Amino acid sequence: MVPASWYVALSAALFSMGVLGVLIRRDPLVIFMSIELMLNAANLALVAFGQRHGTAEGQALVFFVMCVAAAEVAVGLAIIVAIFRVRRRLSVDELNLMRW
């Protein structure tokens, strides 16, 4: 068996890529994809820790994360499409209407 720490290290690397994508990119679609990367990293860590502890509970949690991710992507993409209809441009930097 591959030790659990390898999976956790890979999960951390994947999560960092997601954070970098959210911070660096300006296209809201790519930012959403980076959020998916982070959710996947969390899923991977959950399954790895569950196997390390010898239960399937981590996998049950991943099931819920998947449901939340599906709902989040659907709502998020609808919001992006709605913004695009009003603004005709896509850049998160311009969406500072609610900024203090």
Could you list the residues that contact other proteins (CB under 8 A)? Answer: 1-10, 12-14, 16-21, 23-27, 29-30, 32-34, 36-37, 40, 43-44, 47-48, 50-57, 59-60, 62-64, 66-75, 77-82, 84, 89-91, 93
* Burial classification of residue 17, based on how many CB atoms lie within 10 Å of its CB (0-12 exposed, 13-18 middle, 19 or more buried): middle
In whole angstroms, the minimum distance from the beta carbon of 13 to other proteins comes to: 6
| Contact status, residue 84 vs residue 90, Cβ threshold 8 Å | yes
Q: Which two tokens stand for residue 18?
A: 């997601």
CB of 16 to other proteins, least distance (A): 5
